[in-house]
Amino acid sequence: MINITLPDNSVRQFPEGVTGLDIAKSISEGLARNVLSIEVNNVVCDATRPIYTDAKVKLLTWNDAEGKATMWHSSAHLMAEAIEALYPGVKFGIGPDIENGFYYDIDFGDQPISSDDFGKIEKKILELARGKQNFVRKDVSKSEAINYFTSKGDEYKIELLEGLDDGSITFYESGKFTDLCRGPHIPDTGFIKAVKLLNIAGAYWRGDEKRKQLTRVYGVTFPKQKELDDYLVFLEEAKKRDHRKLGKELELFAFSQKVGLGLPLWLPRGAALRERLEMFLKKVQKKAGYEQVMCPHIGNVELYKTSGHYQKYGESSFRPISTPVEGEEFFLKPMNCPHHCEIYKVKPRSYRDLPVRLAEFGTVYRYEQSGELHGLTRVRGFTQDDAHIFCTPEQVKDEFKGVMDIVMLIFKALDFKDFIVQISLRDPDNREKYIGSDENWEKAERAIREVAIERNLNTVIELGEAAFYGPKMDFLVKDALGRKWQLGTIQVDYNLPERFELEYIGSDNQKHRPVMIHRAPFGSMERFVAVLLEHTAGKFPLWLTPDQAIVLPISEKYQDYANKVLNVLNNAEIRTLIDDRNEKAGKKIRDAELMKIPFMLVVGEREELDGTVSVRKQGHGDLGPQKIEDFIRFVQEEIKNELGEIH
RNA sequence: GCCGAUGUAGCUCAGCUGGUAGAGCAGCUGAUUUGUAAUCAGCUGGUCGGCGGUUCGAAUCCGUCCAUCGGCUCCA
């Protein structure tokens, strides 16, 4: 008998060779029907694999991320089997589970495939799933494995095998399909009740753009049809919130082929919104001791040679700008840091001056690959809410705190409630690849960790993810649909102060090198507005939204009163429009609802007599009549609540 | 940059196997004077992404370039 410890720390005895499924059955039949895989001593494996020693066991179901992963990985195999049945002779690359489903990279040879074929593949998958084929694990020798795939002509699998050690190779067999696979898998294909193939795309073999491009088929499966239906609704909702669509509908920004790809044009409403975001941050930063600076959009090539960016990115950037002077070259500014370093150097700095905090909404230009461009999230010209803090190594911690306070204020004002702080530190096994003294790194890494703990934030630490020039902290927000977006970033830099020979005179009257901190709480204005659009579905917080209210006169007779209301509100700094078209109230309301204007103020005979407006809240319906002054106070109060102390 | 799909009016989209373009919304004009998500009528609007080819004839077939979308690679 062996002792099995369950997650609630209860210990049960089972005979040697017990499987996860047996354990589940001993608890309840229902559980056994839902077990997808098990965790044995923190390693996920098949629920059908026998256990021979005492172990800590967790049964994994659809409610566990690892359980889902097992199911999706098995689904990739099942899809491969279906595709092999429909397209004999195809060759397989890899087929892993991913965050939302799975994919398989397949070489279809000269057989054409498109998303039109999804229907018949899905049908085949479900047909195979209903066969409840078991996933059978087999240990094979390397030569056996190579023989198998050689006879099948699967050169990709053979290449994968070459990288594996003999003795560690396993096959999984389900139905007519056998695959090189570490596992684990679900007990049988019967768990897969609903399937949706999502899209199809090219993908380089082993991620190498010099190698052959395979066809990647993406899909997702579920244990219940209802879950698939819910997922499809989610996809629909995400589509509705696409910032590119909303940006067009709400007239915030546009693109023009003539202007150039990846170069957004901010329309009046979008520009005003962006300006409000900037004003908000400027106010916050002023309080936090930042000083605004301004820099030109181009810089001499020497500046970027000093910073090192020319050597690293010069070739893949916008071509340099030449002048009538022989050999003189300028670059479009790809980042603001080198300019700010030069501002720091304008005069000698004393330790008493530090920290120096230089802020700029700096527009930069980067030549992103054409296929990379995407709405406002990936563009070739964008504006960073940039600032550089020059401080002593001892001040790093306090400066981090200060920046985090700013980020938190922003998240609050924009209603991002769910976020993760990701801290990127050195690779502990590879310390020599980092620039800067061990002592300073130590200090900064400790400071960052401590700040996160003191603020009690949901933190993940990524070892080895730091840039060669310093550790960093990124903020990942979850939007209203649970999707993760990277926004703000704080980055320590030991490199640029060195390259630009930045100095300050310490209390010991000696020269010292300051630490530089890059930080951008929004990331970029473009990206931030995009995320905000997708998060709010275009219903911005009241303080930020382009138009806060619209006056809707019932008919021309009430035009004068409507204009009076308009003036009073605009004088009270409530951004208000008027819809004086010759239309019925219903039409005006519908249009205002679609433009997502937070408050509609219907005025007619009654309102004119009483000096009121009938307030209708976007998405909520009629709130009834209010005195104009009451409405103003109400709006001002709402805004105060949203902005907190910044107002 | 690479693979695949797509490109018709300001927007959303029809247009079968080639026979010189159509709807709804928006816009304009007029009627209507309207009470919480679309009043009615008329009108305007397109070198069918660009260029080249096949054909008596091309939105439709072929080539090429451009752009968009989905991925891959990339992201200082």
Give chain B positions with protein CB within 7 A: 1-5, 11-12, 27, 31-39, 66-76
Find which nucleotide's C1' atom is closest to A518's CA. B76
Protein CA at A200 to nucleotide C1' at B19, angstroms: 38
Segment A75-86 mean pLDDT: 92
Q: Give the pLDDT band of residue A8 (cuts 50, 70, 90).
A: confident
Taking a C-beta distance cutoff of 8 angstroms, is the pair A1, A14 a contact? yes
Segment A70-83 mean pLDDT: 94
Complex ipTM more than 0.90, yes or no: yes
On the question of a cis peptide bond just before residue A296, with omega within 30 degrees of 0, the verdict is no
Q: Kindly name the residue from A124, A472, A535, A616 that is annotated as catalytic.
A: A472
Question: Does residue A372 approach strand B to less than 7 Å at its CB?
Answer: yes
Q: Kindly name the residue from A386, A493, A547, A579 that is annotated as catalytic.
A: A386
Q: Which of A57, A73, A63 is nearest to A22 (CA)?
A: A57
Segment A275-301 mean pLDDT: 96
Q: pTM of the full predicted structure? A: 0.90
Taking a C-beta distance cutoff of 8 angstroms, is the pair A542, A639 a contact? yes
Taking a C-beta distance cutoff of 8 angstroms, is the pair A189, A129 a contact? yes
Protein CA at A466 to nucleotide C1' at B32, angstroms: 69
Task: Inform me whether the pLDDT recorded for A615 exceeds 90.
Answer: yes
Taking a C-beta distance cutoff of 8 angstroms, is the pair A202, A115 a contact? no
For residue A135, report the phi and psi dihedrals to the nearest 5 degrees: -95, 115
CA–CA separation, A405 and A417 (whole Å): 15
Question: Does residue A539 approach strand B to less than 7 Å at its CB?
Answer: no
- Provide the pLDDT for residue A32: 87
Question: Does residue A317 approach strand B to less than 7 Å at its CB?
Answer: yes
Question: Does residue A313 approach strand B to less than 7 Å at its CB?
Answer: yes
Q: DSSP class of residue A467?
A: B
Find which nucleotide's C1' atom is closest to A309's CA. B76
Residues 419-458 of A with CB under 7 A from strand B: none
- Is the four-CA dihedral A549, A550, A554, A555 of positive or negative sign? positive
Task: Inform me whether the pLDDT recorded for A315 exceeds 90.
Answer: no
pLDDT digits over A526-560, tens only? 999 999 999 999 999 999 999 999 999 999 999 99
Helix (H, G, I), strand (E, B) or coil at A215: strand
Residues 183-212 of A with CB under 7 A from strand B: 199-204, 207, 209
Find which nucleotide's C1' atom is closest to A310's CA. B76
Residues 452-511 of A with CB under 7 A from strand B: 467
- Is the four-CA dihedral A601, A602, A606, A609 of positive or negative sign? positive
Structure tokens that stand for A360 in this block: 């700029």
What rounded mean pLDDT belongs to chain A?
91
Question: Does residue A575 approach strand B to less than 7 Å at its CB?
Answer: no
Structure tokens that stand for A598 in this block: 């937070």
